[in-house]
Structures are given as C-alpha cells and as structure tokens.
Chains A and B, each alone.
Chain A
Amino acid sequence: MNLLVRGSAIVPDGRAPAPPLIAVREVDKVYGSGEEAVRALDRVSFDIHEGELVAIMGPSGSGKSTMMNLLGALDVPTTGSISINGNDIGKLSRDALADLRNRSIGFVFQQFNLLPRTTALRQVMLPLAYARPRPADPELQARTRLEQVGLGHRLCHHPQQLSGGQQQRVAIARALVNNPELLLADEPTGALDSKTSADIMGLLRELNGQGITVVVVTHDADVARYARRRILFGDGAIVEDARLEA
C-alpha cells in the first residue's frame, strides 16, 4: 500500500481504480504512558478518496480532534499507518511532514488563525513562502485565490477590518493557494452566525464540486448535512460511516 502513488497503479484489465487519497489502517493513538495512558484512537481504519466531501463528527473526547491532527499530518499515530497521497506519515521526519502539509493539505481553523496587522494578500501568500521550489509569482496566485473566494476587492485589508465570514474566506483562500489535494476544516463555522455558516459551507461544497477533497471536523449536525459522507466517532472508534444523499 505504501507504494501507491496517485494515478500510477495500473491493473491488468487496463482500468486504473482510484487509490485512496487517505488510507487509515489500524491506527492507535495513545497519549502518555503507563497507568496514565489515554487511548484516544483504537484500531481505526477507513479510506477517503479523491473528490469526497466528508464530515467527521462526534462528541468531545470521541477522538475526532485526534483524528483531524493525524489527517493533517500534524501528528503521527502510535501504531498502525496513515498514508496521505501515498506518503506513510509515520515514516516521515518533522521537516518532511512540514513539506507534505505545505504541498498536499490546506487548513481551515475555527478561529481563522490569521496573522495580526497583515493584509489579506500577504496572509494568502504565507504558505507559498514555505513552498519548495518557490513559486514564480506568489502574489498573482494569492490574488487569484482571493478572487475565487469572492474577496477580490479586499486584498489590502487587515483582519480587524474584515467580518468573521470574510476572515474565514481569507483563511480558505490561504488553504487553497498551494493547490493541495485535501482541504481540512476544523469546526470552520464554530465562530460564525448561522447565515454566514451557511455561506461558508456553501463555498466549501462549491470547491468540492471543483474537485478538491474536503474533510470537515464538526460537532454540528447542520454543518454535517452539507457533506456527502459522515464518519461518526465515539470513544476512540468509528461508530458509523454513512453515505448521505446530496
């Protein structure tokens, strides 16, 4: 499974079945050690394929946040394997994980996590500053992404000059700027009112329609309704994995 690279596996009958973008296999995640060890994930396995729109749900303490950290290559499993785009993250160094995040994953956070006193354009250019090799025209790419999320007229605004919904759009543009395979959103509407939440979820769904894989971690059933698949966590394991009618 480790050798799978997107689009490279050819089966004898000539068709190329899509290998999963993310393959989670028998993953345990244990925090601490000995008596005080906490098992946050217990033998979790699932696949996410390219183009999916997945909601990961569950009450707090269910392991969904831990799962999100692993899917985002921010952390590595205690045992088992997670491969993202063919890379087994347990076998990568810290710097290789950073490069993988930079190339393949875009993050959207509940609190937006924008830099203070920095223009929208510079916020979106931030991931490009860490890209290897450096892109030719980072400013143009950032501008294009801001226009894509409907903020073409707010390029030089600072976060404090933008509404919550606009700030989250800047964050989404920043997540998209490196053309990642996966957009990982952690409670993306947690700090927004219901109207703005609907706008943001609509935008994520629209982006998914354009081909990008989206994983949303949320405890909000309304938000989860936008997904085409719902994975429900409980007590460190998958309780339900259901396809939804779009």
Chain B
Amino acid sequence: MTALDCLRAAVAAIATNFLRTVLTTLGIIIGVGSVIVMMAVGAGARSEVERQIANLGSNLLVVNPSARLFGGRSSGAGSNLPLSEDDVKAIETKVPGVQAISGQLWASATVVFGNANFWTRIWGVHASYLFARSWSVESGRDLTEQDVAGARRVALVGLTVAKKLFGDNDPVGEVFRIRNVPFTVIGTLTPKGQTSFGHDHDDAIFVPMTTARTQLIGKHPLVPDQVGSISVKFQEGADLLDAQEEIEQVLRQSRRVPPGDDDTFVVGNPIESMKARTAAQTTLGWLLAATAAISLIVGGIGIMNIMLVSVTERTREIGLRMAVGARRLDIMLQFLIEATTLCVLGGLIGVVLGVAAAFVTAGIAEWPILIPPQTILLALAAAAAVGILFGFLPARRAALLSPIEALRSE
C-alpha cells in the first residue's frame, strides 16, 4: 500500500468521526499553540536584546538625577538637582576606563524650514555624544569641541526629521529654525529605527549642549550648567559593575552627598535593564514550554486512546485487509499514518491559534514577538513525532491481530 493510499484511508477515517477527532486533538492543538507562543516570545526577547546592544553598544552606563523623597513620598524621577558640567568633568577625569562621555539635555519644540514644520525633540549634547551612543553621521560632519565651546547654532538631524523638513534633498548646509532661532544643518544621522516602546530614535535633532542651554531651554535657577543625564561609554571588556560603583563614589563627592544619605542620582545600565525586562518573557517562555510538553503528552495519550478505539471498531476492516493480502507492516503503517495525520491536523489548528495568541500577547503585554518559519515547522514536527510515538502501540495491536479472529469480530 502506498503512502498516498494510507493518507486517503486516514482522511476518510478522520472525516467519519470529525467532531470526535477534533476533540481528541485538543491536547495537540494546545501543545502546538504553546510551542508557537513560547518560541515567538523567546525569539522576540532575544532579538530585542540584540537590537538594543547593536543600537547602544554593550558598554554604556547612563546617569540620571534620582527622585527626591519628601517624607517617604517620591516626588517623581529627576526631581533631585540636575547633573552639571562638574559631574561630567568628575567622571571623565576620575573614573578609569571611560572612552566617551556626554550630557544630554532635551526639550520638545517645533522646527520650521520653509513651509514645512514638525514637532520633535531637541537634544543638547557634547561633542562625543554620537560616539558614546554608538551612532554616526551619514552625511556631513559630527559636532566638534569648537561647536560646543562656541555655542554655535549648528544641528545634526535624525532621518525622520530630515525627511519631514527637507524631503529627499540633502539638508546639509540648509538653515532652519528651532523656536525661531536659526540653525545650520551640519550632518544627518544613520537610521536607528524604533525603540522597544515604539519610540522613534530618528525623530530627533542634536545641537551643542551650550547652545541648547542658552538658546532653547533656559538656565536652571540653581544649576546654570545643567547637562540633563550623562551617557558614559567604557572600553570594550570593561567591568560595568565596577564602573558603576566608581561613578557612584565620584558623583557622591562631586555632588557633596553627606555620608549615610541616599544617592541623589541613579546609574543605569540600559542593556541590563533590557535583559531584566525580557527575563519576564524568558520565564513565561519556560512556563509555556512546560505547558507545551504536558499538553503534547496528554494529547498523545488522547491520540493513543482514540486510535485504540478505532482499531477495535475497525477490526473487521483489518481482517478484510489481511485476507486480501495486507502484510503486517501495511496495517501498521496505515494506522501510524492515521495517527500522525490526526496529530498534524491538530498541529495545523494549533499553529493558527498559536500565531493568533502570540500576536494578542504582543499587543497586551507590549512585548516584541518574532515567528521565524522554522518555529512552525518545528511545532508541526513535534506534533508528527507525538503521532508516531503514541500511534505505535495501537498500530502494533492492529498489525498483530489474527486474520481469522479479526474477520469473525462483530
């Protein structure tokens, strides 16, 4: 009997008891669905971490002023005194292994060029900002120390802003206005895409820190040389935990935090917090893996059960097939293929539900998901393996029937 004959017989047998069949494959459906969601969430988490590393570099620490406590109540992130140029200097000179350092102070503003205008975020940064954030210019030039020292009205524009303001023309050399202050474009930036929260990296303009403070943001009453937050890039292979402690010590000194008081700043590791965030996804992944394994086993037992019932119901058919010349292997293969077809059918339903569930999960939990095609193949292969494994016993029982007794059964 050819595989096609077996498949035809299997489909006919399954179609005979369609409802019973679908109920039987429920375990397989859930199992395969879980496999899909698990792999989608896991792959999404991994790709997110990789992308963040590619975007930020793996040796970046970011310092922010911390929330100040009033009688135990937090007054919001950044409510402590802003960080200052002194803090930048202190870290640069006293912490070993610093490769690049830059403040970053931001404000939202409307930018205008000709008839085009656009609401975007303006960042005041130091000359080494792009290097510190593993970013680079696409055309034109980077900011220089002279730009910063001279508080020049020059700007680097992100890809999104460049498109909105200047269309397809090269904006380098063009003069546009930020809050009515004219700025000259000195360069455009390579595209970075979206953050995991859906924020567009390329929707930004970078100007010298000094220019931003004087022309756009205005002086802080207590800290005239505020720098917002500070990005610190370390050399390749640096121990970021040590570096974090060094920065904390240096900043407690430079910000004169009395011994015993809490820090007035936080040193963060964006990659680590990204990993921590995706750890939840990884945990869910393991949970789903357990669900998938249990469902597939339970589903497999269900398949075995229904196949045993099927063999009993169709004993006469088996006897007839033996009488007209079916060898034991023919009978065995017929029932194995039937069990496998059943499982793959359930698997296909599971794939559809799993993909749907993955997208729903992604929507509700705002997690990135990724469904590589091999995931679907793997899930279906798992279903087929369950069919072969749990179909074996019923198929063997069918093949070992005596032709006379099988023919005589009612």
B403 within 8 A of A: yes
Contacting residues, chain A, for B327 (C-beta < 8 A): 94-95, 98-99, 130
Question: Would you call A94 and B328 a contact (CB within 8 A)?
Answer: yes
Question: Would you call A74 and B321 a contact (CB within 8 A)?
Answer: no
Question: Would you call B325 and A101 a contact (CB within 8 A)?
Answer: yes
Q: Which residue of B has the minimal Cβ distance to A72?
A: B323
What's the Cα separation between A126 and B404 when bound, in Å? 19
B324 within 8 A of A: yes
A131 within 8 A of B: yes
B51 within 8 A of A: no
B92 within 8 A of A: no
Which of A75, A95, A130, A134 interacts with B324 by CB under 8 Å?
A130
Question: Would you call A101 and B324 a contact (CB within 8 A)?
Answer: yes
Question: Would you call A115 and B317 a contact (CB within 8 A)?
Answer: yes
Which of A107, A117, A131, A134 interacts with B323 by CB under 8 Å?
A107
Which of B16, B316, B325 interacts with A113 by CB under 8 Å?
B316
B85 within 8 A of A: no
Question: Would you call A98 and B326 a contact (CB within 8 A)?
Answer: yes
What's the Cα separation between A50 and B1 when bound, in Å? 30
A92 within 8 A of B: no
What's the Cα separation between A129 and B333 when bound, in Å? 13
Question: Would you call A130 and B326 a contact (CB within 8 A)?
Answer: yes
What's the Cα separation between A102 and B320 when bound, in Å? 11
> Given A115-B320, A129-B1, A129-B5, are A102 and B325 also a contact pair (CB < 8 Å)?
yes
Question: Would you call A69 and B328 a contact (CB within 8 A)?
Answer: no
Question: Would you call B325 and A98 a contact (CB within 8 A)?
Answer: yes
Contacting residues, chain B, for A127 (C-beta < 8 A): 324-325
B81 within 8 A of A: no
What's the Cα separation between A109 and B408 when bound, in Å? 11
Contacting residues, chain B, for A129 (C-beta < 8 A): 1-2, 5
B330 within 8 A of A: yes
Q: Which residue of B has the minimal Cβ distance to A94?
A: B328
A118 within 8 A of B: yes
Contacting residues, chain A, for B329 (C-beta < 8 A): 95
What's the Cα separation between A95 and B327 when bound, in Å? 5
Q: Which residue of A has the minimal Cβ distance to B323?
A: A107
Contacting residues, chain B, for A230 (C-beta < 8 A): none
Would you give the 0/1 interface string for A199-239, flagging 1 where the beta carbon is closer than 8 Å to chain B? 00000000000000000000000000000000000000000
What's the Cα separation between A4 and B114 when bound, in Å? 107
| Cβ distance B405 to chain A, nearest Cβ, rounded Å | 10
Contacting residues, chain A, for B325 (C-beta < 8 A): 98-99, 101-103, 127, 130-131, 178
Contacting residues, chain B, for A74 (C-beta < 8 A): 322-323, 403-404, 407
A64 within 8 A of B: no
Interface hits, B386-410 → A, CB 8 Å = 403-404, 407
Interface hits, A84-125 → B, CB 8 Å = 94-95, 98-99, 101-103, 107, 109, 113, 115-118
- Chain B interface size band reads 20 to 34
A143 within 8 A of B: no
Most-contacted residue by chain B among A72, A107, A113 (CB, 10 A): A113
Question: Would you call A126 and B324 a contact (CB within 8 A)?
Answer: yes
What's the Cα separation between A101 and B322 when bound, in Å? 9
Q: Which residue of B has the minimal Cβ distance to A138?
A: B5
> Given A69-B404, A113-B316, are A102 and B324 also a contact pair (CB < 8 Å)?
yes
What's the Cα separation between A226 and B52 when bound, in Å? 90
B181 within 8 A of A: no
Would you give the 0/1 interface string for A143-182, flagging 1 where the beta carbon is closer than 8 Å to chain B? 0000000000000000000000000000000100010000
| Cβ distance B403 to chain A, nearest Cβ, rounded Å | 5
Question: Would you call A174 and B328 a contact (CB within 8 A)?
Answer: no
B107 within 8 A of A: no
Contacting residues, chain A, for B316 (C-beta < 8 A): 113
Would you give the 0/1 interface string for B327-342, flagging 1 where the beta carbon is closer than 8 Å to chain A? 1111000000000000
| Cβ distance A8 to chain B, nearest Cβ, rounded Å | 24
| Cβ distance A229 to chain B, nearest Cβ, rounded Å | 24
Question: Would you call A117 and B16 a contact (CB within 8 A)?
Answer: yes
Which of B16, B324, B326, B328 interacts with A107 by CB under 8 Å?
B324
Question: Would you call B323 and A130 a contact (CB within 8 A)?
Answer: no
B287 within 8 A of A: no
Contacting residues, chain B, for A69 (C-beta < 8 A): 404
What's the Cα separation between A127 and B404 when bound, in Å? 17
| Cβ distance A138 to chain B, nearest Cβ, rounded Å | 10
What's the Cα separation between A94 and B330 when bound, in Å? 12
Would you give the 0/1 interface string for A2-42, flagging 1 where the beta carbon is closer than 8 Å to chain B? 00000000000000000000000000000000000000000
Interface, chain A (partner B; CB < 8 A)? 69, 72, 74-75, 94-95, 98-99, 101-103, 107, 109, 113, 115-118, 126-127, 129-131, 134, 174, 178
If A72-B323, A95-B327, A101-B323 are given as contacts, then 6 extra A-B residue pairs at C-beta distance below 8 Å, sorted by A number, are: A74-B403, A75-B404, A98-B322, A109-B407, A113-B316, A117-B16
7 A-B pairs within 8 Å (CB atoms) are namely: A95-B329, A98-B327, A101-B324, A113-B316, A117-B16, A130-B1, A130-B330
**Sorted from nearest, which 3 A-B pairs have the closest CB atoms?**
A102-B325, A130-B325, A127-B324
